[in-house]
Amino acid sequence: MSDDKKVLVEKVREIESRDEKRADSWPDDPNNTASILGERRSLSEPLSPEEAKRRMFARSRRGFLFGGAAGLLGIFGWRWMPDETKEALLRRTFKFNEDVSRFFFERTDLAPEFPPELATAKVNGMIGLGDDFDASNWKLQVTGLAEPRRFPQYAGAVSFTGADNAPRSLDTPPEPDIPVPGLLFSLDEIRSLPRTQMTTELKCIEGWSVISSWTGVRFSDFAAQFFPSLRVGESPDLQNLPAGLTKHVSLVTPDRGYYVGWDMQSILHPQTLLAYEMNGAPLKPEHGAPLRLVTTTKYGIKMLKRIGRIEFTNERPRDYWAESGYDWYSGH
């Protein structure tokens, strides 16, 4: 290679490197954030206007065809998805979210409690609170315990309230009265169990919240005495959810108009009460007298008022609002 040629090659390389350097950096300016942060550009080699146009057109065609197809696929995929498929997908997502929530659930996680002076009340939801209810005849029915004869509260036929001793329902006709053995509790018996008071914020699934004071027995204290297992002799270590423990609890109003299903983990949380007093006074009928459920672990829709029956079960119980598309778990 001649010297002339060498010089020429050097020159070309120099120009090229300068071009490279300039081509992929922004104007060096102390007031340009791009140069302060060292942002690079990504530029092609210089092209003729025609070539640039041709390449850009090819890229545009590809980009818009792919993008348009993906967009249409998304829109029509969602619109044409059969309702059953969509509902199943959303239900499965609720279940997935529930599994995530249960995985992280710690009974030591507590919602804040407030000074009782902040307590107020809000009435909402009268489902299951029909007029034909005689509080003086009310007894809490508990079924699903192993060998209920062990307990003094044993009754051979536990059924729903009413002088005719027949189950009632607002929207379904009375069913034949099948005797179910279980336990019956008077309100005084419930009141004699360990008392707990808490002033907590009730969250309605609609979005509002209200701070109220509640007095009652922790469900876990109740369950410690009336241990919910399908076999006798299970480990009484409730909090570790031993294998013999039933998986769920079903709570139903006396008229069967309202019913909720609970997981064991949430109902045994220390801030879940069977409450008989609100804001320092006996529970009023519209708030669920004589006995209702109160919790910080779930939305208000799960806090059954006027409890008629508590049933321990391994089946996932029916749930009034879950049947209208709400989350069965509805956990906080």
Q: Which of residues 31-50 bind other proteins (CB under 8 A)?
A: 31-49
The piece of 18-26, 130-138, 173-181, 252-260 that touches other proteins (CB under 8 A) is 18-26
In the complex with other proteins, the residue whose CB is nearer, 117 or 188, is: 117
If 0-12 CB within 10 Å is exposed, 13-18 middle and 19+ buried, where does residue 105 land? middle
The piece of 89-97, 135-143, 239-247, 251-259 that touches other proteins (CB under 8 A) is 89-97
The piece of 101-109, 139-147, 151-159, 311-319 that touches other proteins (CB under 8 A) is 101-109
Shortest distance in whole angstroms from residue 86 CB to other proteins? 9
> Which backbone phi and psi does 189 adopt, to 5 degrees?
-65, -40
Q: Binding other proteins by CB under 8 A: which of 3, 4, 83, 106? A: 106
Tell me which residue has tokens 């804001």: 279
What radius of gyration do the chain's Cα atoms show?
34
Q: What is the largest CA-CA distance in the chain?
A: 119
> Applying CB under 8 A, does 118 fall inside the site for other proteins?
no
Window 218 to 257, contacts with other proteins (CB under 8 A)? none
> Applying CB under 8 A, does 332 fall inside the site for other proteins?
yes
Contact 228, 248 (CB under 8 A): no
Contacts of 102 (CB under 8 A, 6+ apart): 263, 265, 329, 331
In the complex with other proteins, the residue whose CB is nearer, 209 or 314, is: 209
In the complex with other proteins, the residue whose CB is nearer, 88 or 281, is: 88
> Applying CB under 8 A, does 88 fall inside the site for other proteins?
no
Window 141 to 200, contacts with other proteins (CB under 8 A)? none
Distance between CA atoms of residues 136 and 276, nearest Å? 14
Beta bridge partners of 180: 158
Q: What is the DSSP string of 241-291?
A: --TTB-SEEEEE-TTSS-EEEEEHHHHTSTTEEEEEEETTEEPPGGGTTT-
> Applying CB under 8 A, does 64 fall inside the site for other proteins?
yes
Shortest distance in whole angstroms from residue 89 CB to other proteins? 7
Total number of residues that touch other proteins (CB under 8 A)? 72
> Applying CB under 8 A, does 297 fall inside the site for other proteins?
yes
Instruction: Count CB atoms within 10 A of the CB of residue 161.
Output: 23
> Applying CB under 8 A, does 97 fall inside the site for other proteins?
yes
The piece of 64-72, 168-176, 191-199, 212-220 that touches other proteins (CB under 8 A) is 64-72
Q: Binding other proteins by CB under 8 A: which of 1, 80, 104, 131? A: 104
Q: Is 169 left (phi over 0), alpha (psi -120 to 50) or beta?
A: beta
Contact 237, 229 (CB under 8 A): no
Q: Binding other proteins by CB under 8 A: which of 7, 12, 56, 135? A: 56
Q: In the numeric block, which tokens belong to residue 286? A: 């519209």
